[in-house]
Copies of this chain bind each other. A is one copy, B any other.
Amino acid sequence: MPMPADATVPFRFVLVRTAHPGNIGSTARAMRTMGFTRLELVAPARFPDPQATAMAAGADAVLALAGVHADMVAGLAGCSMAIGLSARRRGVALPEWSPREGAQQALAAAARGEQVALVFGNERTGLENSELAHCHGMVRIPSVDDFSSLNLAQAVQVMAYEMRLAMLATVPPAPPAPVGEPLADAVKMEQFFTHLEQTLDDIDFHKGRPPAVVVLRLRKLFQRSQMDERELRILHGILADAQRMARLAGVTGKRADAG
């Protein structure tokens, strides 16, 4: 599958001291769904690895191009902005952003011609303070306090998703989908309600009760359904068959109170 070269070029995802190679593969997939292709690995426990390939689920090209580095500075070479992800609030002198704010910061930096890294730490211990020291800001995904740690690849997915949303926000939306059957207009709806009311009479639905309340409820129901003309035709057909049954039964026109 060809790798698109595009607006994602300034961005790289950096995984630091990843313990489980499967998470590297899942990360590659998560990145690729949002159009990102540059992955850098700093001191991974095991890579390459069949588990990484298996979990990449087709995003093999991302793995094939992934750089492997001994230390974080090497992984950040060329980047003038690095955003570190952390599950916990940290006592570090870094601005703390939501994922949405972090994506905005990242895009602003890219617009200035910078390369930007999104940095994720070890699954269990996260990023060390010494690693965060290379970052310019920190993103905390707003998980609950009593279960705050997302799986590494799921954190990558959320950040990549917010990045993509931020990038799409600059693109004009697609033209609206073509309309199918025309919606029923007021005239056709009124014809339907007339038919419905006649049918309710023919099948002796009201049984002597005042019809207005039920009829009003039915009007509201079908009105809000915003039916198209094909649906109307089907309903007219059902009503017509119910009326036919009443005629065959010799019931049409009789009322419960007529004895």
Number of copies: 2
- 0/1 string, A207-237, CB within 8 A of B gives 1: 0000000100110011011010011001001
A249 to B222, CA, bound (A): 29
Q: Is A30 an interface residue (CB 8 A)?
A: yes
* Distance from A154 Cβ to chain B, minimum over Cβ atoms (Å): 4
B35–A144 contact, CB under 8 A?
Answer: yes
> B34 touching A144 by the CB < 8 A rule?
yes
Check A4 against B146 for contact (C-beta < 8 Å). Answer: yes
CA distance A242 to B224 in the complex (A): 24
| Shortest distance from the beta carbon of A165 to any chain B beta carbon, whole Å | 7
Question: A234-B214, A241-B204, A245-B246 given as contacts; is B147 within 8 A of A164 (CB)?
Answer: no
A96: min CB distance to chain B, Å: 9
Q: How long is the Cα–Cα vector from A143 to B203 in the complex, in angstroms?
A: 53
Size bracket of the A interface:
35 or more
Inter-subunit contact B245/A218 (CB<8 Å):
no
Which chain B residue has the least Cβ–Cβ distance from A242? B242
B237 touches A205 (CB 8 A): yes
Residues of the B chain whose Cβ atoms lie less than 8 Å from the Cβ of A200? 238
A2-B146, A32-B144, A203-B241 are known; give 15 further A-B pairs, CB within 8 A. Answer: A30-B154, A33-B154, A141-B161, A142-B161, A154-B154, A154-B157, A158-B161, A161-B161, A205-B241, A218-B231, A224-B225, A225-B225, A242-B245, A245-B251, A248-B249
Could you tell me which A residues sit within 8 Å of B by CB distance?
1-2, 4, 26, 29-30, 32-35, 57-59, 93, 99, 141-144, 146-151, 153-154, 157-158, 161, 164-165, 168, 180, 200, 203-205, 214, 217-218, 221-222, 224-225, 227, 230-231, 234, 237-238, 241-242, 244-246, 248-251
Question: Can you list 25 A-B contacts with CB-CB less than 8 angstroms, sorted by A residue number?
Answer: A1-B146, A4-B144, A26-B154, A30-B151, A33-B143, A33-B144, A33-B149, A99-B161, A142-B164, A150-B157, A151-B153, A154-B157, A158-B158, A203-B238, A203-B244, A203-B245, A205-B237, A218-B231, A242-B242, A242-B245, A245-B245, A245-B248, A245-B251, A248-B249, A248-B250
